[in-house]
Amino acid sequence: MRDVRVLKTALVQQRFYGSKEATNAKTVESIAEAAKKGAALVVLQELHQTEYFCQCEDTRFFDYAAEFEKDIEYWSRVAAEHRVVLVTSLFEERAPGLYHNTAVVFESDGSVAGRYRKMHIPDDPGFYEKFYFTPGDLGFEPVDTSVGRLGVLVCWDQWYPEAARIMTLKGAEVLIYPTAIGWLECPADRRDELCEKENTPEERQKMLEAWIAVQRGHAVANGVPVLTVNRVGFEKDPSGQLGGIRFWGHSFAFSPQGEMLAVAEEEETILRVDLDLKAGAEVRKIWPFLRDRRIDAYEDLRQRYCGR
């Protein structure tokens, strides 16, 4: 019999409850429930404490980041109380005028196991993250915890095979993506043809499927499981300029061979998944992709573009 090492995991997919206090209260309730059912690892969605404030560019939201150290104390207590390894996603003030989108990982005794500062920062209508977050400078470093070596990345990183690969080369036993992604709604006063055309059910389905597909690819290419936790629910644009975002939920887990182990719908969910952290080692014996990488021929991966 081959080795098996089961990691009981819970992904908390939830909506924003109008305030940080109410939202955190709901999250803690979900963590408690997940822990009660045996979860050893709980993963929260991106920027789970507040609304997804990057829908507009407004300096008042930097105040959220001022509470970063307090937030760490708070989630430390939660992790310790429920005896779970906890992946959080916080807004970090590093210095005045210098902010990161930072995942902080807590050990089950409440200590900080490590942190990851989001490396790839998006910027498109409704997702103005380049205004708020300086790209991370800690590189792609997995976090060692009592439940395994966690390759924690954040949202936009999920589109980059480079990030998944480096985490794998550094021994990550699972890739974890807290996420906030959804469909931009057309503003009430701009239900014009172009906006509607981009928002047909077919176009929305394509986007959702592409998002799942690229991460499934990471699982297969690297022989590692993937856990992704997304927001759900509609959130309006605080500035009133855009039509708001309908976060599409669909948190999921893939096995190291790309089997979908679990997937949520578009509603609040505590998605429980039992991962076998030894399964990847078996898959890699059949498909030993790491053996044959042409590291002598990958120099161009460090180019912005080649030839012009």
> Which residues of the chain form contacts with its own copies (CB under 8 A)?
119-122, 124, 135, 139-140, 156, 159-166, 169-171, 206-207, 209-210, 213-221, 257-259, 286-290, 292-295, 297-307
What Cα–Cα distance (Å) separates residue 118 from each residue in 101, 229, 288?
5, 15, 29
Nearer to its own copies, 35 or 224 (CB): 224
233: left (phi over 0), alpha (psi -120 to 50) or beta: left
User: Which residues, other chains included, contact 37 with Cβ-Cβ below 8 Å and sequence gap of 6+?
Assistant: 10, 272
202 residue type, one letter: E
Nearer to its own copies, 60 or 197 (CB): 197
Nearer to its own copies, 37 or 170 (CB): 170
* Minimum distance, C-beta of residue 54 to its own copies, in the bound complex (Å): 15
Catalytic residue among 118, 129, 185, 235: 118
* Minimum distance, C-beta of residue 301 to its own copies, in the bound complex (Å): 5
Distance CA 13, CA 17 (A): 13
55 contacts 181 by C-beta, under 8 angstroms: no
Nearer to its own copies, 17 or 289 (CB): 289
Is residue 236 among the annotated active site residues? no
* Minimum distance, C-beta of residue 288 to its own copies, in the bound complex (Å): 7
DSSP state of 154: -
Nearer to its own copies, 188 or 286 (CB): 286
Catalytic residue among 54, 93, 107, 155: 155
232 contacts 265 by C-beta, under 8 angstroms: no
The candidate with the shortest Cα–Cα distance to 39, out of 63, 62, 68, 7, is: 7
Nearer to its own copies, 79 or 167 (CB): 167
Report how far Cα 164 is from the mean position of its chain's Cα atoms. Answer: 13
* Minimum distance, C-beta of residue 93 to its own copies, in the bound complex (Å): 22
170 contacts 139 by C-beta, under 8 angstroms: no
Catalytic residue among 46, 93, 107, 235: 46
Report how far Cα 301 is from the mean position of its chain's Cα atoms. Answer: 24
Q: 3-class SS at 87?
A: strand
* Minimum distance, C-beta of residue 213 to its own copies, in the bound complex (Å): 5
259 contacts 241 by C-beta, under 8 angstroms: no
* Minimum distance, C-beta of residue 145 to its own copies, in the bound complex (Å): 17
Is residue 195 among the annotated active site residues? no
| CA end-to-end distance (rounded Å), the chain | 54
Is residue 285 among the annotated active site residues? no
Q: Which residues carry out catalysis?
A: 46, 118, 155
